[in-house]
């Protein structure tokens, strides 16, 4: 076997003849995973583009800071998805590091936005109006984002791609934020508990800051 041959049943065959099916199967599997990764990102992009328009209408009609802020979060998620599509289209550790850092910047922007919005709502004791459109959209968005985050996590792990995995956590935060906004809207509508939304926002600030530290520390 030192010359690249194996002996099977008294016959000598090149190792490549045995390795090629395995290599082809590996390449086919990786190509399928890449297609799945692209599909997950394109679905995320499309959903958030539509979401910005829906949230703008809902925020204006209800005078809701939470819904307006969630629209900004959708912009951050769009940016993160574009970064991942860019990274999946190329290779190399340098490109991957740049992509991860860009996602880290997105997390930092999200943490800053949540901190400012939650503090402003608490300081002003702002009471938004009820928003059936906002409640419906955030409920559906939470379910969609959790499903997309799960898919990105599994696909990123299978590809050994930390960029896709990290962006999956951005999507998870988007789903958690949708659930927090939904809870705030429901509690404000049913019980008048206007402070529920900013309280959940502070929890998400901690989570986003932790992700920024992990990304920029190289973990």
Condensed to tens digits (0 to 9), the pLDDT of residues 120-148 reads 888 887 777 788 999 999 999 999 999 99
Which phi and psi angles does 118 have, rounded to 5°? Answer: -65, -40
Residue 30 CB: number of other CB atoms within 10 A?
13
Tokens of 203: 């929890």
Q: Could you say which DSSP state residue 4 is in?
A: S
Give the helix ranges, DSSP H, for 4-131.
15-62, 65-88, 93-124
Residue 119, token pair as written in the block: 């503090």
Rounded (5°) CA angle 183-152-106: 65
d(CA 110, CA 93): 26
Q: What is the mean pLDDT of the chain?
A: 80
pLDDT at 110 over 70: yes
List pLDDT tens digits, range 154-183.
998 888 888 888 888 888 988 988 998 898
Tokens found for residue 151: 């898919």
User: What pLDDT, in 10s, does the model give residues 74-97?
Assistant: 887 888 788 788 877 776 677 777
Q: What is the number of other CB atoms lying within 10 angstroms of the CB of residue 186?
A: 17
pLDDT at residue 50 tops 90: yes
């Amino acid at each position: 076997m030192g010359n690249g041959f194996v002996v099977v049943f008294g016959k000598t065959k090149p190792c490549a003849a045995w390795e090629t099916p395995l290599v082809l199967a590996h390449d086919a599997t990786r190509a399928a995973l890449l297609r799945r990764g692209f599909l997950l990102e394109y679905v995320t992009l499309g959903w958030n583009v539509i979401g910005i328009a829906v949230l703008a209408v809902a925020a204006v009609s209800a005078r809701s800071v939470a819904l307006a802020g969630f629209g900004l979060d959708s912009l951050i998620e769009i940016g993160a998805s574009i970064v991942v599509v860019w990274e999946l289209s190329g290779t190399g550790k340098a490109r991957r590091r740049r992509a991860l850092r860009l996602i880290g910047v997105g997390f930092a922007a999200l943490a800053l936005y949540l901190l400012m919005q939650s503090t402003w709502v608490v300081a002003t004791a702002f009471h938004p109006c009820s928003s059936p459109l906002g409640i419906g959209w955030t409920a559906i968005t939470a379910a969609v984002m959790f499903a997309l985050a799960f898919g990105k996590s599994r696909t990123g792990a299978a590809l050994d791609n930390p960029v896709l995995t990290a962006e999956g956590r951005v999507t998870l935060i988007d789903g958690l934020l949708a659930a927090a906004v939904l809870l705030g809207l429901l509690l404000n509508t049913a019980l008048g508990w206007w402070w529920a939304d900013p309280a959940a926002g502070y929890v998400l600030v901690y989570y986003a800051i932790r992700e920024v530290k992990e990304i920029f520390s190289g973990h």
